[in-house]
Structure 1
Amino acid sequence: MLVFVVFQVFLLLTVVLPPHTTLSHLETTTSAGHAIPFPPFEQLNIKKSIAATKLRPRPRPSPTSDFSSVEDTDHGSAQEAISRNSSVKLNLVHRDKISFSWHKDHRRRFASRMKRDAKRVASLIHRLSSDAAAEYEVSGFGSEVVSGMKEGSGEYFVRIGVGSPARSQYMVIDTGSDIVWVQCQPCRQCYHQSDPVFDPVYSASFSGVSCSSTVCDRVENSGCHSGWCKYEVSYGDGSYTKGNLALETLTIGNTIVQNVAIGCGHMNRGLFVGASGLLGLGGGSMSIVGQLGGQTGGAFSYCLVSRGTESSGSLEFGRSVLPVGAAWVPLLRNPRAPSFYYIGLLGLGVGGERVPLPYNTFQITEFGDGGVVMDTGTAVTRLPTEAYVAFRDTFIAETGNLPRARGVSIFDTCYDLGGFITVRVPTVSFFLSGGPILTLPARNFLIPVDESGTFCFAFAPSSSRLSIIGNIQQEGIQISFDGANGFVGFGPNVC
């Protein structure tokens, strides 16, 4: 008889704190939190995890897909403003759900994801390097455009409406970047997307941004041509988007938001796989979060769906979506990377015990190096090499006699679990600043990499001091950002 194991809820807390708690209060009231015990082992269901990797073919979505309530109709005067007491909710899907037919091959899909991931991480590290700014130069548009910010491609999509009437578009969500952009007609160079390319000629609300506008000044290294503001965003994998900066109306769920600064990309290349563009959720002023500003109080929350499922996650904006009962920890700011969301990580745990690491392993240095970034666009969590090796070796020691397998891609710790129904594995935990302990479900740290039962420890070493908590480790956990008060919350809900 098969026994299906339900993974335990992932948080064990010393105290529940509201999002407006002050930093000093949070630190002093939970200073003893690290001694709280948590279960040293849990069960991983092998058959269920492997089955989740076999995605059913899905037809190419139409612009009127029911992933959101956006309709390709003229909303006329039925405009609804976002207020501090309201919220906006969108469905959130993994990119594999709308990807092309070759992604049905799990091995190929996995290899592609790891290739994108390596380039994403290299891009994030490069953005923090001391010589990154020196590499910006005029390119692409000739004298029209100056090269822009180094970012990376994302893994999760939402569906929003662009223009008036609203045209539904799939957009990559990215907490590690700011610019909101879509591919635009006339498209001199565009990659293939699932929806028709947005044509501003048919939008009554599209308005170009002049070079003299303060909006143009807010775009890092913006360019100017014939009086109109130009933008360019370059990505670490060689992808890019170039075009005009514009003000446009976005329809997010049932809410219409006017005069959003977006990039209208006429030359685009990248590994976005079906998306029409990118919805920047970073901490800068040009992200959708920054542009909504006081209307939402810098508050948003998301749940990333687990890989291979037919369900959808969610992305919500507004202070009313901040949950009661979450574990709130301080957001840290790095002046060298204002778009990134840093959190305080004090240590790592395996099997109920804390891994011995130097106290400053995850701290941001005075030069802006190091620290721990929450990023939806990176799949696999990266740790400084010294921390990763100690973490991995502790995990291996605790797994007992589970049969090992050869390393796969960036993973050096893998197991052959094809002959098992369930296995007992040690828990993996993050010790967060202020006291909370985030204990991950087994499916968030031991993942299938093929259909024959090879599972790998889903962490990798970083080539720098920077640590990145990727979307595999975030899956199924409600994560909330309270930008106005400087906190990020974990839980209490699962998704």
Structure 2
Amino acid sequence: MAVVFVITLAMLTAATVISGSPVTLTLERAFPTNHGVELNQLRARDLLRHRRILQSSNGVVDFDVHGTFDPFQVGLYFTKVQLGTPPVEFYVQIDTGSDVLWVSCSSCTGCPQTSGLQIELNFFDSGRSSTSSLISCSDRRCNSGIQSSDATCSSQNNQCSYTFQYGDGSGTSGYYVSDTMHLDTIFEGSVATNSSAPVVFGCSNQQSGDLTKSDRAVDGIFGFGQQEMSVISQLSSQGIAPRVFSHCLRGDSTGGGVLVLGEIVEPNIVYTPLVPSQPHYNLNLQSISVNGQALQIDASVFATSNNNRGTIVDSGTTLAYLAEEAYDPFVNAITATIPQSVRTVVSRGNQCFLITSRLG
């Protein structure tokens, strides 16, 4: 049960001093007292207030975030995009480890038909959108995708296409289309729901691996990488949104979070620089500590290099992964910290701790 606390103020006066002279400021009600206030009105007001933490000279593009971190529930975060004319809604996984936005096509082989996430899956049909067009091999955007390995080209049909293989062994292939994306743009606390922009995205006609499973199925993947084929880069090049995004994940049981194309202004955020000139979002991980004690791990294990070593931030990956040189000391340190009274079991070759209450 949700409990809502409403504090009603008849009228307050606040006194301050400017250049030695007292000035009285009058604070009035946001809502009148002669009738009750609907919960949706309060939520709408709070939503506008919360949006004031978003900062950009051109406004920001806002996306609702669903899902949780818990791998035993959802194990992923996803959002909703609207594509085509008339617009069709698609639920897509948020993935900072890839560049391209793609959704399942009406001709897809191996695409799940239902989802255990209690969402309705849709399939993109370019023939039903009046603003849809195919991307040819001669298109400049296709050439940009080829240079970043996000696109391929077939001389047989002059069609710009793609084939992606993800780290979990799943994969997808299809072709590129251009169509309208409908956006919620926030500017100075107001929302313009009628904004839109043409974007290039993938139409998946074949999927494999975990992408074919229905238990956590979504309509596609929304890549938030740095290359030109990413929606971030496309909207930035059109002057619609800044080339920066903010992705805050809620780590409790309610899940969700915040995802905007723009900057979040929050004084309590701790920042860390990214390693420049890398295909992914690499961090300078320096050490790992357990219970305040730094582990004896050679710093070179974390160093970013040209052979795909280093530490990246990837919202599309459920678990955190460590190199063996760091993993063994880390697990050993945690094991030594757990009290002997805690029951342990081995599940699929991994040692697990069964904890029924918070450790002191």
Query: Normalized against structure 2, the TM-score is what?
Result: 0.70
Relative to 1, partners in 2 of residues 1:241 and 1:389: Cα closer, same or farther, differing over 3 Å? closer
Structure number with larger C-alpha Rg:
2
> What SS does the corresponding residue of 1:291 show, helix, strand or coil?
helix
Partners of 1:322 and 1:206 in 2: CA distance: 36
Residue 251 of structure 1 aligns with which residue? 182
Residue 355 of structure 1 aligns with which residue? 295
Alignment RMSD: 2.9
Is the 1:402–1:415 contact (alpha carbons within 8 Å) kept by the matching residues of 2?
Answer: no
Is the 1:334–1:342 contact (alpha carbons within 8 Å) kept by the matching residues of 2?
Answer: no
Unpaired runs of 5+ in structure 2? 1-54, 115-119, 185-192
Out of 248, 263, 286, the residue aligned to residue 346 of structure 1 is: 286
Partners of 1:317 and 1:247 in 2: CA distance: 20
Partners of 2:300 and 2:166 in 1: CA distance: 30
- Is 1:398 aligned with 2:337? yes
How many residues matched?
A: 283
Residue 260 of structure 2 aligns with which residue? 316
> What SS does the corresponding residue of 2:218 show, helix, strand or coil?
coil
Residue 303 of structure 1 aligns with which residue? 248
Residue 152 of structure 2 aligns with which residue? 222
> What SS does the corresponding residue of 2:330 show, helix, strand or coil?
helix
Any residues of structure 2 matched to 1:51-450 within 5 Å, and which? 84-94=57-67, 110=72, 155-193=76-114, 194-219=120-145, 220=149, 221-224=151-154, 225-253=156-184, 254=193, 256-272=195-211, 273-293=216-236, 295=239, 296-306=241-251, 309-319=253-263, 321-333=264-276, 335=278, 338=279, 340-365=280-305, 367-409=306-348, 411-412=350-351, 414-418=352-356, 421-424=357-360
Return the offset for 1:389. Answer: 1.9
AA partner of residue 306 (structure 1) = G
Percent identical pairs in the alignment equals: 27
Relative to 1, partners in 2 of residues 1:396 and 1:239: Cα closer, same or farther, differing over 3 Å? closer
C-alpha deviations, 1:273-329, integer Å up to 9, x for none? Answer: 33111100112221222222354332111122336x34532211113x343442222
When you count strand as a share of all residues, which structure comes out higher? Answer: 2
Is the 1:162–1:168 contact (alpha carbons within 8 Å) kept by the matching residues of 2?
Answer: yes
Partners of 1:281 and 1:200 in 2: CA distance: 23
Partners of 2:220 and 2:358 in 1: CA distance: 40
> What SS does the corresponding residue of 2:113 show, helix, strand or coil?
coil
Is the 1:84–1:318 contact (alpha carbons within 8 Å) kept by the matching residues of 2?
Answer: no
Return the offset for 1:238. Answer: 4.7
AA partner of residue 208 (structure 2) = R
Partners of 1:86 and 1:301 in 2: CA distance: 13
Relative to 1, partners in 2 of residues 1:252 and 1:376: Cα closer, same or farther, differing over 3 Å? same
Structure number with the bigger relative contact order (C-alpha 8 A, sep ≥ 6) is 1
Q: Which runs of 4+ in 1 moved over 6 A?
A: none
AA partner of residue 395 (structure 1) = I
> What SS does the corresponding residue of 2:107 show, helix, strand or coil?
coil
Relative to 1, partners in 2 of residues 1:232 and 1:387: Cα closer, same or farther, differing over 3 Å? closer
Partners of 1:397 and 1:235 in 2: CA distance: 35
Relative to 1, partners in 2 of residues 1:271 and 1:369: Cα closer, same or farther, differing over 3 Å? closer
AA partner of residue 358 (structure 2) = T
Unpaired runs of 5+ in structure 1? 1-81, 97-105, 114-153, 425-495
C-alpha deviations, 1:118-140, integer Å up to 9, x for none? Answer: xxxxxxxxxxxxxxxxxxxxxxx
Partners of 2:322 and 2:285 in 1: CA distance: 11
Partners of 1:398 and 1:267 in 2: CA distance: 47
Return the offset for 1:404. Answer: 3.5
Relative to 1, partners in 2 of residues 1:313 and 1:410: Cα closer, same or farther, differing over 3 Å? farther
Return the offset for 1:358. Answer: 1.9
Return the offset for 1:372. Answer: 0.6
Is the 1:183–1:197 contact (alpha carbons within 8 Å) kept by the matching residues of 2?
Answer: yes
Return the offset for 1:266. Answer: 2.3
Partners of 1:359 and 1:83 in 2: CA distance: 37
Relative to 1, partners in 2 of residues 1:368 and 1:235: Cα closer, same or farther, differing over 3 Å? closer
